[in-house]
Amino acid sequence: MGAALPFPTHDLNNGISDTNTLNVLLPMHVQLDGEGGITHVGPTFAKLFPENTDFIGQNLFQYIRVLYPRDIQEHSDLNTHFSQPLTAQLKVIDPIELKAVVVPVAGQTGVLINFAFGTSLKQAVSKWHLNSTDFSPADPSVEMLYVIEVQSALLEESKSLNRRLNGQWEEAEEKAYSDPLTGLSNRRALKRYMHRMRRRRNDTGFALFLIDLDHFKNVNDTLGHDAGDKVLQQVAEILLNETRPNDIVVRTGGDEFVLVIEDAHDMEVLSTIAARIISKVERPIFLDKKRCNVGASIGIIQSTTSINHSIDTILKQADDALYQSKRDGRGCYVFGRMSN
């Protein structure tokens, strides 16, 4: 067998003078003469700069900088890096990195540099509005771009679906733990709140207010249930204004409400809160110019998270105190005693 012929990895054929062929096969190329002056640029490379930019005779390094290898600072440095992968960057306001390779031109002293977008492909296509005609017919970049676009579309659709599902889940959870009329928490939310409070490492004192509206049945009977609903909503607003964000306000059903106030140890403070709630609820409410009056009776239980009573047990004790406030003439509050 004869000896294998060497492959001219650093030379181009004499067809280098056919710029039309180069424009089709290498639309991102730049030709330099022996002094480093630009003799020709491919049509796609020209699109990366302002229209009618006159490249001929200009120094390529006026338009780009080589990031790697770092020892390439001018055109003469290219001679020691033929056929090696280069990383370059456009000297523009929004620089984009390019990949490049340099080869000598057969029979001439100049070189030819071919650029490619690499991982900046999508950004470049968007920035310069490139299309398939701006790439070589054999360049896989177009197919890659299609794949990127499909992946982006699928990813965006997946994100959109997740947002919709999360929104539906949050809406469903909110409905499951809230009272639809007043927007307050419901009994289920109260149980979750108490469970989370008991899971804390430090013992937490709290007070539970069980509130029942006085004379509420009269409102429903004389003014109708729509008026009753408006009264409940106004009472809910009063209770929210008397609590802090870390407390919870619950409508357990009908005209009955529950407050749980954390870090509640001082009976005088709790008495002040209860008296203020009663005073505000007792103020006349005008609905369609009709006056209605309701009141509030309150049973109060103080406890701590270290005492492992169920919420139903605590509510039972609070209900006993509430019943006593009713017997005492309504419109008052009574502190109950939590049995161990």
Which residues does the annotation mark as catalytic? 255
For residue 211, the tally of other CB atoms under 10 A from its CB is: 28
Hey, what are 179's tokens?
């009272």
Contact 111, 12 (CB under 8 A): no
Please tell me the distance from the alpha carbon of residue 118 to that of residue 103, in angstroms, as a whole number: 19
Percent of residues in the chain assigned helix, strand, coil, to nearest 5: 45, 25, 35
Hey, what are 155's tokens?
């990813």
What residue has token string 């429903």? 220
Please tell me the distance from the alpha carbon of residue 152 to that of residue 158, in angstroms, as a whole number: 10
Pairing of strands 97-104, 86-90: antiparallel
H-type helices in the chain, by residue range? 19-25, 43-47, 121-128, 141-176, 187-198, 216-223, 225-241, 267-282, 311-327
57-86 CB burial, b ≥16 within 10 A, e <16 = eeebbebbebeeeeebeebeebeebeeeeb
Please tell me the distance from the alpha carbon of residue 178 to that of residue 190, in angstroms, as a whole number: 10
